[in-house]
Chains A and B, each alone.
Chain A
Amino acid sequence: MGWHVLYLVVQEPLIFPDSTTILFALYDLVWTAKFWLSLYYTMRTLLLSYIIGMFITIIIILFCLKYSWLKALFERYCAYFNPLPSFVLVPFMSLFMGLGAAVVYSIIIWNIIWQSGLQVLRSIESVHELWGKQVQNLQWSGTKALTKVYIPAAIGNLIGIASTGWANSWRILISLEVVFGSIGGYFGIGSYIIDVKSKLDIDQMYAILFVIALTGIIINSLLNRLKKKYSYE
Protein backbone atom coordinates (compact mmCIF):
# COMPACT_ATOMS: atom_id res chain seq x y z
CA MET A 1 0.00 0.00 0.00
CA GLY A 2 2.71 2.41 1.15
CA TRP A 3 4.79 1.50 -1.87
CA HIS A 4 1.93 2.21 -4.24
CA VAL A 5 1.30 5.60 -2.59
CA LEU A 6 4.99 6.44 -3.10
CA TYR A 7 4.71 5.37 -6.75
CA LEU A 8 1.71 7.68 -7.25
CA VAL A 9 3.43 10.60 -5.48
CA VAL A 10 6.91 10.27 -7.01
CA GLN A 11 5.72 9.26 -10.51
CA GLU A 12 9.20 8.00 -11.38
CA PRO A 13 9.03 4.33 -12.41
CA LEU A 14 12.83 4.00 -12.54
CA ILE A 15 12.98 4.74 -8.81
CA PHE A 16 9.60 3.53 -7.55
CA PRO A 17 8.03 1.21 -10.09
CA ASP A 18 4.34 0.33 -9.91
CA SER A 19 3.75 -2.37 -7.26
CA THR A 20 1.65 -4.43 -9.67
CA THR A 21 4.48 -4.49 -12.23
CA ILE A 22 6.80 -5.71 -9.45
CA LEU A 23 4.33 -8.53 -8.75
CA PHE A 24 4.27 -9.45 -12.45
CA ALA A 25 8.09 -9.30 -12.50
CA LEU A 26 8.10 -11.63 -9.50
CA TYR A 27 5.84 -14.06 -11.37
CA ASP A 28 8.17 -13.90 -14.42
CA LEU A 29 11.16 -14.43 -12.14
CA VAL A 30 9.73 -17.70 -10.85
CA TRP A 31 9.80 -19.07 -14.39
CA THR A 32 13.31 -17.79 -15.16
CA ALA A 33 15.92 -20.57 -15.00
CA LYS A 34 18.79 -18.06 -14.72
CA PHE A 35 17.31 -16.68 -11.49
CA TRP A 36 17.05 -20.11 -9.84
CA LEU A 37 20.56 -20.94 -10.98
CA SER A 38 21.96 -17.74 -9.44
CA LEU A 39 20.00 -18.39 -6.23
CA TYR A 40 21.44 -21.90 -6.17
CA TYR A 41 25.02 -20.60 -6.61
CA THR A 42 24.56 -18.08 -3.80
CA MET A 43 23.08 -20.68 -1.46
CA ARG A 44 25.82 -23.15 -2.33
CA THR A 45 28.59 -20.62 -1.62
CA LEU A 46 26.89 -19.57 1.61
CA LEU A 47 26.29 -23.11 2.85
CA LEU A 48 29.80 -24.26 2.05
CA SER A 49 31.52 -21.28 3.67
CA TYR A 50 29.11 -21.44 6.61
CA ILE A 51 29.83 -25.12 7.24
CA ILE A 52 33.60 -24.57 6.99
CA GLY A 53 33.32 -21.51 9.30
CA MET A 54 31.27 -23.33 11.91
CA PHE A 55 33.57 -26.37 11.74
CA ILE A 56 36.65 -24.20 12.38
CA THR A 57 34.78 -22.35 15.17
CA ILE A 58 33.80 -25.60 16.91
CA ILE A 59 37.38 -26.91 16.71
CA ILE A 60 38.65 -23.64 18.25
CA ILE A 61 35.98 -23.79 20.99
CA LEU A 62 36.86 -27.40 21.84
CA PHE A 63 40.49 -26.41 22.31
CA CYS A 64 39.44 -23.30 24.27
CA LEU A 65 37.45 -25.46 26.68
CA LYS A 66 40.51 -27.66 27.19
CA TYR A 67 43.21 -25.00 27.44
CA SER A 68 42.50 -21.85 29.47
CA TRP A 69 45.41 -19.90 27.91
CA LEU A 70 43.92 -20.49 24.46
CA LYS A 71 40.52 -19.37 25.73
CA ALA A 72 42.02 -16.12 27.05
CA LEU A 73 43.78 -15.57 23.71
CA PHE A 74 40.61 -16.30 21.74
CA GLU A 75 38.58 -13.92 23.92
CA ARG A 76 41.19 -11.21 23.36
CA TYR A 77 41.13 -11.67 19.56
CA CYS A 78 37.32 -11.75 19.56
CA ALA A 79 37.35 -8.38 21.33
CA TYR A 80 39.62 -7.06 18.55
CA PHE A 81 37.90 -8.52 15.52
CA ASN A 82 34.23 -8.77 16.51
CA PRO A 83 33.45 -5.03 16.20
CA LEU A 84 35.31 -4.85 12.87
CA PRO A 85 32.85 -5.16 9.94
CA SER A 86 34.24 -8.02 7.88
CA PHE A 87 33.57 -6.10 4.67
CA VAL A 88 36.50 -3.78 5.44
CA LEU A 89 38.82 -6.76 4.96
CA VAL A 90 38.01 -6.97 1.24
CA PRO A 91 40.85 -4.67 0.06
CA PHE A 92 43.35 -6.31 2.43
CA MET A 93 42.41 -9.87 1.46
CA SER A 94 42.26 -8.97 -2.22
CA LEU A 95 45.96 -8.02 -2.03
CA PHE A 96 46.79 -11.62 -1.18
CA MET A 97 44.06 -13.57 -2.95
CA GLY A 98 42.90 -11.41 -5.84
CA LEU A 99 39.23 -10.90 -6.60
CA GLY A 100 38.22 -14.56 -6.65
CA ALA A 101 36.06 -16.96 -4.72
CA ALA A 102 38.80 -17.38 -2.07
CA VAL A 103 38.21 -13.83 -0.79
CA VAL A 104 34.47 -14.41 -0.47
CA TYR A 105 34.92 -17.68 1.41
CA SER A 106 37.61 -16.17 3.65
CA ILE A 107 35.50 -13.14 4.58
CA ILE A 108 32.44 -15.22 5.49
CA ILE A 109 34.53 -17.71 7.47
CA TRP A 110 36.30 -14.83 9.22
CA ASN A 111 32.95 -13.28 10.10
CA ILE A 112 31.56 -16.54 11.52
CA ILE A 113 34.65 -17.29 13.65
CA TRP A 114 34.91 -13.91 15.36
CA GLN A 115 31.24 -13.11 15.56
CA SER A 116 29.82 -16.48 16.60
CA GLY A 117 32.86 -18.01 18.34
CA LEU A 118 32.64 -16.05 21.56
CA GLN A 119 28.87 -16.50 21.78
CA VAL A 120 29.22 -20.27 21.28
CA LEU A 121 31.86 -20.39 24.01
CA ARG A 122 29.70 -18.36 26.40
CA SER A 123 26.56 -20.40 25.79
CA ILE A 124 28.40 -23.66 26.51
CA GLU A 125 29.99 -22.18 29.63
CA SER A 126 26.71 -20.77 30.92
CA VAL A 127 24.88 -24.10 30.81
CA HIS A 128 22.71 -24.43 33.91
CA GLU A 129 24.74 -24.97 37.07
CA LEU A 130 22.81 -28.15 37.85
CA TRP A 131 23.95 -29.80 34.61
CA GLY A 132 27.54 -28.93 35.48
CA LYS A 133 27.09 -30.58 38.87
CA GLN A 134 25.52 -33.61 37.20
CA VAL A 135 28.54 -33.98 34.93
CA GLN A 136 30.81 -33.97 37.98
CA ASN A 137 28.45 -36.32 39.77
CA LEU A 138 28.45 -38.83 36.93
CA GLN A 139 32.21 -38.41 36.59
CA TRP A 140 31.89 -37.67 32.88
CA SER A 141 34.49 -35.55 31.19
CA GLY A 142 35.86 -34.53 27.79
CA THR A 143 33.92 -35.53 24.69
CA LYS A 144 31.26 -37.46 26.64
CA ALA A 145 30.40 -34.46 28.85
CA LEU A 146 30.41 -32.17 25.83
CA THR A 147 28.27 -34.32 23.53
CA LYS A 148 25.88 -35.75 26.12
CA VAL A 149 25.35 -32.69 28.31
CA TYR A 150 26.89 -29.35 27.41
CA ILE A 151 25.99 -29.21 23.71
CA PRO A 152 22.41 -30.57 24.11
CA ALA A 153 21.84 -28.16 27.03
CA ALA A 154 23.13 -25.23 24.99
CA ILE A 155 21.53 -26.25 21.68
CA GLY A 156 18.74 -23.62 21.88
CA ASN A 157 21.30 -20.85 22.28
CA LEU A 158 23.54 -22.38 19.62
CA ILE A 159 20.66 -22.34 17.11
CA GLY A 160 20.04 -18.68 18.02
CA ILE A 161 23.70 -17.90 17.34
CA ALA A 162 23.58 -19.87 14.08
CA SER A 163 20.52 -17.85 13.06
CA THR A 164 22.29 -14.51 13.65
CA GLY A 165 25.45 -15.80 11.96
CA TRP A 166 23.48 -17.01 8.97
CA ALA A 167 21.64 -13.69 8.57
CA ASN A 168 24.94 -11.77 8.65
CA SER A 169 26.65 -14.13 6.24
CA TRP A 170 23.68 -13.94 3.84
CA ARG A 171 23.91 -10.13 3.78
CA ILE A 172 27.71 -10.10 3.42
CA LEU A 173 27.65 -12.64 0.58
CA ILE A 174 25.05 -10.74 -1.44
CA SER A 175 26.99 -7.49 -0.92
CA LEU A 176 30.19 -9.21 -2.07
CA GLU A 177 28.41 -10.59 -5.13
CA VAL A 178 27.18 -7.11 -5.96
CA VAL A 179 30.78 -5.83 -5.72
CA PHE A 180 32.58 -8.77 -7.33
CA GLY A 181 30.11 -9.84 -10.00
CA SER A 182 31.24 -13.34 -10.86
CA ILE A 183 32.57 -15.46 -7.97
CA GLY A 184 34.70 -18.37 -9.12
CA GLY A 185 33.10 -18.26 -12.58
CA TYR A 186 29.52 -18.35 -11.22
CA PHE A 187 27.00 -15.55 -11.02
CA GLY A 188 25.09 -15.41 -7.77
CA ILE A 189 21.94 -13.52 -6.85
CA GLY A 190 23.92 -10.31 -6.09
CA SER A 191 25.40 -10.35 -9.60
CA TYR A 192 21.92 -10.97 -10.99
CA ILE A 193 20.70 -7.76 -9.30
CA ILE A 194 23.48 -5.76 -10.97
CA ASP A 195 22.74 -7.45 -14.29
CA VAL A 196 19.03 -6.49 -14.30
CA LYS A 197 19.83 -3.02 -12.94
CA SER A 198 22.25 -2.31 -15.79
CA LYS A 199 19.45 -3.29 -18.22
CA LEU A 200 17.18 -0.81 -16.39
CA ASP A 201 14.84 -3.69 -15.54
CA ILE A 202 13.98 -2.04 -12.20
CA ASP A 203 10.78 -4.07 -11.64
CA GLN A 204 12.78 -7.26 -11.72
CA MET A 205 15.48 -5.80 -9.48
CA TYR A 206 12.87 -5.06 -6.81
CA ALA A 207 11.35 -8.51 -7.30
CA ILE A 208 14.77 -10.05 -6.59
CA LEU A 209 15.21 -7.87 -3.49
CA PHE A 210 11.79 -9.10 -2.36
CA VAL A 211 12.92 -12.73 -2.80
CA ILE A 212 16.14 -12.01 -0.84
CA ALA A 213 14.18 -10.48 2.05
CA LEU A 214 11.61 -13.30 1.98
CA THR A 215 14.32 -16.01 2.00
CA GLY A 216 15.96 -14.32 5.00
CA ILE A 217 12.66 -14.13 6.89
CA ILE A 218 11.73 -17.76 6.17
CA ILE A 219 15.11 -19.19 7.22
CA ASN A 220 15.27 -16.98 10.33
CA SER A 221 11.77 -17.94 11.45
CA LEU A 222 12.58 -21.64 10.90
CA LEU A 223 15.72 -21.32 13.03
CA ASN A 224 13.82 -19.39 15.70
CA ARG A 225 11.19 -22.13 15.87
CA LEU A 226 13.95 -24.71 16.27
CA LYS A 227 15.52 -22.54 18.98
CA LYS A 228 12.25 -22.44 20.95
CA LYS A 229 11.78 -26.20 20.57
CA TYR A 230 15.25 -27.06 21.84
CA SER A 231 15.64 -24.50 24.64
CA TYR A 232 15.73 -26.28 27.98
CA GLU A 233 16.64 -23.57 30.45
Chain B
Amino acid sequence: MINLKNHIVAVNGTIPLFTPINLSVQAGEIAVIMGTSGVGKTSLLASLATSSNVIFKNQFYVFQESHQLFPWMTVRKNLDYVCKKPYIDLVKRWNLEQYLDHQPPNLSGGQRQRFTLIRALCSGLSTLLCDEPLSALDGITGATVAKDFREIVHEENLTVLWVTHNVTEARIVGDSIYLLSKNGIKDITYEDDLIVSILSV
Protein backbone atom coordinates (compact mmCIF):
# COMPACT_ATOMS: atom_id res chain seq x y z
CA MET B 1 0.00 0.00 0.00
CA ILE B 2 0.95 3.66 -0.38
CA ASN B 3 0.65 5.92 2.62
CA LEU B 4 1.65 9.57 2.24
CA LYS B 5 1.62 11.92 5.21
CA ASN B 6 2.35 15.61 4.71
CA HIS B 7 4.17 14.73 1.51
CA ILE B 8 5.83 17.69 -0.24
CA VAL B 9 7.13 17.87 -3.80
CA ALA B 10 9.46 20.79 -4.44
CA VAL B 11 11.01 22.21 -7.60
CA ASN B 12 14.82 22.08 -7.31
CA GLY B 13 14.29 21.02 -3.72
CA THR B 14 13.14 24.50 -2.63
CA ILE B 15 9.81 25.75 -4.06
CA PRO B 16 6.88 23.44 -3.12
CA LEU B 17 4.50 22.66 -6.00
CA PHE B 18 1.50 22.25 -3.72
CA THR B 19 0.65 22.28 -0.01
CA PRO B 20 1.61 19.05 1.83
CA ILE B 21 -0.68 16.18 0.91
CA ASN B 22 -2.03 13.12 2.71
CA LEU B 23 -2.97 10.13 0.61
CA SER B 24 -3.58 6.49 1.36
CA VAL B 25 -3.94 3.80 -1.31
CA GLN B 26 -4.74 0.28 -0.11
CA ALA B 27 -3.61 -2.97 -1.72
CA GLY B 28 -6.02 -3.86 -4.53
CA GLU B 29 -6.95 -0.22 -5.04
CA ILE B 30 -6.41 2.09 -8.01
CA ALA B 31 -6.16 5.77 -7.05
CA VAL B 32 -6.44 8.14 -9.98
CA ILE B 33 -4.77 11.54 -9.79
CA MET B 34 -6.20 14.25 -12.04
CA GLY B 35 -5.31 17.89 -12.36
CA THR B 36 -4.43 20.64 -14.78
CA SER B 37 -1.19 20.56 -16.79
CA GLY B 38 1.86 21.62 -14.81
CA VAL B 39 0.27 21.13 -11.40
CA GLY B 40 2.83 18.46 -10.49
CA LYS B 41 1.18 15.08 -11.14
CA THR B 42 4.25 13.57 -12.82
CA SER B 43 6.52 15.17 -10.21
CA LEU B 44 4.39 13.56 -7.50
CA LEU B 45 4.82 10.11 -9.08
CA ALA B 46 8.53 10.66 -9.64
CA SER B 47 8.93 11.75 -6.02
CA LEU B 48 7.28 8.50 -4.89
CA ALA B 49 9.66 6.47 -7.01
CA THR B 50 12.73 8.11 -5.51
CA SER B 51 11.71 9.50 -2.12
CA SER B 52 13.41 8.10 0.93
CA ASN B 53 10.65 9.10 3.38
CA VAL B 54 7.98 7.07 1.59
CA ILE B 55 8.18 3.58 2.92
CA PHE B 56 7.43 1.21 0.10
CA LYS B 57 9.55 -0.78 -2.24
CA ASN B 58 8.93 -3.02 -5.23
CA GLN B 59 7.26 -0.32 -7.30
CA PHE B 60 7.17 -0.31 -11.09
CA TYR B 61 6.98 3.03 -12.85
CA VAL B 62 5.12 3.20 -16.17
CA PHE B 63 6.41 6.34 -17.85
CA GLN B 64 4.43 8.76 -20.00
CA GLU B 65 6.53 8.09 -23.11
CA SER B 66 5.25 5.36 -25.43
CA HIS B 67 8.77 4.21 -26.40
CA GLN B 68 9.70 2.52 -23.15
CA LEU B 69 10.43 -0.91 -24.56
CA PHE B 70 14.08 -1.40 -25.45
CA PRO B 71 14.24 -1.00 -29.27
CA TRP B 72 17.26 -3.31 -29.65
CA MET B 73 15.28 -6.33 -28.42
CA THR B 74 12.13 -7.95 -29.73
CA VAL B 75 8.98 -7.36 -27.68
CA ARG B 76 9.16 -10.96 -26.46
CA LYS B 77 12.68 -10.43 -25.08
CA ASN B 78 11.59 -7.16 -23.48
CA LEU B 79 8.86 -9.04 -21.66
CA ASP B 80 11.04 -12.07 -20.84
CA TYR B 81 13.69 -9.92 -19.15
CA VAL B 82 11.22 -8.18 -16.84
CA CYS B 83 8.15 -10.38 -16.33
CA LYS B 84 8.18 -12.74 -13.37
CA LYS B 85 4.63 -13.94 -14.13
CA PRO B 86 3.24 -15.50 -17.35
CA TYR B 87 2.23 -12.78 -19.76
CA ILE B 88 0.89 -14.70 -22.74
CA ASP B 89 -2.79 -14.71 -21.64
CA LEU B 90 -2.81 -10.94 -21.32
CA VAL B 91 -1.04 -10.57 -24.68
CA LYS B 92 -3.79 -12.68 -26.29
CA ARG B 93 -6.53 -10.80 -24.42
CA TRP B 94 -5.31 -7.52 -25.93
CA ASN B 95 -4.88 -9.08 -29.41
CA LEU B 96 -1.13 -8.52 -29.50
CA GLU B 97 0.25 -12.06 -29.94
CA GLN B 98 1.24 -11.47 -33.60
CA TYR B 99 3.52 -8.59 -32.52
CA LEU B 100 5.58 -10.50 -29.94
CA ASP B 101 8.50 -11.06 -32.29
CA HIS B 102 8.48 -7.53 -33.71
CA GLN B 103 11.01 -4.84 -32.81
CA PRO B 104 9.30 -2.06 -30.76
CA PRO B 105 10.01 0.73 -33.30
CA ASN B 106 7.87 -1.21 -35.80
CA LEU B 107 4.79 -1.03 -33.55
CA SER B 108 2.32 1.81 -33.12
CA GLY B 109 2.41 3.99 -30.00
CA GLY B 110 -0.75 2.32 -28.68
CA GLN B 111 0.63 -1.20 -29.17
CA ARG B 112 3.83 -0.23 -27.39
CA GLN B 113 1.86 1.26 -24.49
CA ARG B 114 -0.20 -1.92 -24.11
CA PHE B 115 2.98 -4.03 -24.04
CA THR B 116 4.43 -1.64 -21.44
CA LEU B 117 1.35 -2.14 -19.26
CA ILE B 118 1.62 -5.93 -19.68
CA ARG B 119 5.25 -5.69 -18.60
CA ALA B 120 4.23 -3.73 -15.52
CA LEU B 121 1.34 -6.03 -14.61
CA CYS B 122 3.46 -9.18 -15.00
CA SER B 123 6.61 -7.76 -13.37
CA GLY B 124 5.71 -9.39 -10.08
CA LEU B 125 5.99 -6.04 -8.28
CA SER B 126 3.16 -5.03 -5.98
CA THR B 127 2.98 -1.27 -6.58
CA LEU B 128 2.51 0.38 -9.97
CA LEU B 129 2.98 4.09 -10.63
CA CYS B 130 1.35 4.81 -14.00
CA ASP B 131 1.83 8.18 -15.68
CA GLU B 132 -0.78 8.59 -18.45
CA PRO B 133 -0.21 5.00 -19.62
CA LEU B 134 -3.03 5.03 -22.19
CA SER B 135 -2.35 8.43 -23.76
CA ALA B 136 -1.49 6.95 -27.18
CA LEU B 137 -4.58 4.71 -27.38
CA ASP B 138 -7.86 5.49 -29.10
CA GLY B 139 -10.93 5.88 -26.88
CA ILE B 140 -12.45 2.41 -27.44
CA THR B 141 -9.21 0.44 -27.07
CA GLY B 142 -8.21 2.65 -24.11
CA ALA B 143 -11.52 1.91 -22.37
CA THR B 144 -11.14 -1.87 -22.95
CA VAL B 145 -7.56 -1.89 -21.68
CA ALA B 146 -8.53 0.25 -18.65
CA LYS B 147 -11.37 -2.15 -17.79
CA ASP B 148 -9.12 -5.22 -18.09
CA PHE B 149 -6.37 -3.48 -16.13
CA ARG B 150 -8.80 -2.76 -13.28
CA GLU B 151 -9.89 -6.43 -13.16
CA ILE B 152 -6.30 -7.68 -13.05
CA VAL B 153 -5.28 -5.21 -10.35
CA HIS B 154 -8.17 -6.42 -8.18
CA GLU B 155 -7.38 -10.09 -8.88
CA GLU B 156 -3.68 -9.66 -8.14
CA ASN B 157 -4.21 -7.28 -5.20
CA LEU B 158 -1.84 -4.65 -6.61
CA THR B 159 -1.58 -1.04 -5.43
CA VAL B 160 -1.82 1.50 -8.26
CA LEU B 161 -1.42 5.26 -8.53
CA TRP B 162 -2.67 6.31 -11.97
CA VAL B 163 -2.23 9.79 -13.45
CA THR B 164 -4.51 10.84 -16.31
CA HIS B 165 -6.20 13.84 -17.96
CA ASN B 166 -9.00 11.70 -19.36
CA VAL B 167 -12.22 11.83 -17.31
CA THR B 168 -13.75 8.70 -18.90
CA GLU B 169 -10.55 6.74 -18.29
CA ALA B 170 -10.51 7.93 -14.67
CA ARG B 171 -14.10 6.74 -14.16
CA ILE B 172 -13.40 3.31 -15.73
CA VAL B 173 -10.11 2.52 -14.03
CA GLY B 174 -10.28 4.34 -10.70
CA ASP B 175 -11.52 3.05 -7.36
CA SER B 176 -10.87 6.51 -5.99
CA ILE B 177 -10.26 9.75 -7.87
CA TYR B 178 -8.25 12.66 -6.52
CA LEU B 179 -7.84 16.16 -7.84
CA LEU B 180 -4.39 17.68 -7.38
CA SER B 181 -4.02 21.45 -7.27
CA LYS B 182 -1.62 23.90 -5.64
CA ASN B 183 -3.91 23.80 -2.58
CA GLY B 184 -3.28 20.11 -2.13
CA ILE B 185 -5.28 17.02 -2.96
CA LYS B 186 -9.08 16.59 -2.89
CA ASP B 187 -11.10 13.40 -3.10
CA ILE B 188 -13.62 13.76 -5.96
CA THR B 189 -14.55 10.09 -6.32
CA TYR B 190 -18.22 10.69 -5.57
CA GLU B 191 -18.63 13.99 -7.42
CA ASP B 192 -21.28 13.78 -10.15
CA ASP B 193 -19.41 15.82 -12.72
CA LEU B 194 -15.63 15.57 -12.61
CA ILE B 195 -15.15 18.43 -15.10
CA VAL B 196 -17.24 20.75 -12.93
CA SER B 197 -15.26 19.67 -9.86
CA ILE B 198 -12.00 20.38 -11.62
CA LEU B 199 -13.23 23.78 -12.81
CA SER B 200 -14.41 24.69 -9.31
CA VAL B 201 -10.90 24.09 -7.95
Contact = CB atoms under 8 A, between A and B. Distances in A.
B65 interface: yes
Interface string B54-65: 000000110101
Interface stretch (B22-30, B67-75, B181-189): B67-75
A76 interface: no
A207 interface: no
Interface stretch (A3-11, A29-37, A66-74, A131-139): A131-139
A155 to B, nearest CB: 7
Interface stretch (A78-86, A111-119, A145-153, A177-185): A145-153
Interface residues of B, number: 14
A87 interface: no
Contacts of B81: 138, 148
B7 to A, nearest CB: 20
Contacts of A133: 61, 63
The A interface, classified by DSSP as helix, strand, loop or mixed, is helix
B72 A134 contact: no
A134 to B, nearest CB: 7
B49 interface: yes
B88 interface: no
B63 A130 contact: yes
A145 to B, nearest CB: 12
Contact of A138 (B63, B71, B82): B82
Interface string B2-35: 0000000000000000000000000000000000
A155 B82 CA distance: 22
Contacts of A153: 70, 72
A137 B61 contact: yes
A136 B81 CA distance: 14
A148 B71 CA distance: 11
A152 B71 CA distance: 9
B49 A232 contact: no
A130 B64 CA distance: 10
B49 A130 contact: no
Contacts of A130: 63, 65, 67-68
Given A130-B65, A148-B81, A137 B72 contact: no
A29 to B, nearest CB: 42
B169 to A, nearest CB: 22
Interface of A: 130-131, 133-134, 136-138, 148-149, 152-153, 155, 230, 232
Given A138-B81, A148-B70, A152-B70, 16 more contacts: A130-B63, A130-B65, A130-B68, A133-B61, A134-B63, A134-B68, A136-B49, A137-B60, A137-B61, A137-B63, A138-B82, A152-B72, A152-B73, A153-B72, A155-B72, A232-B72
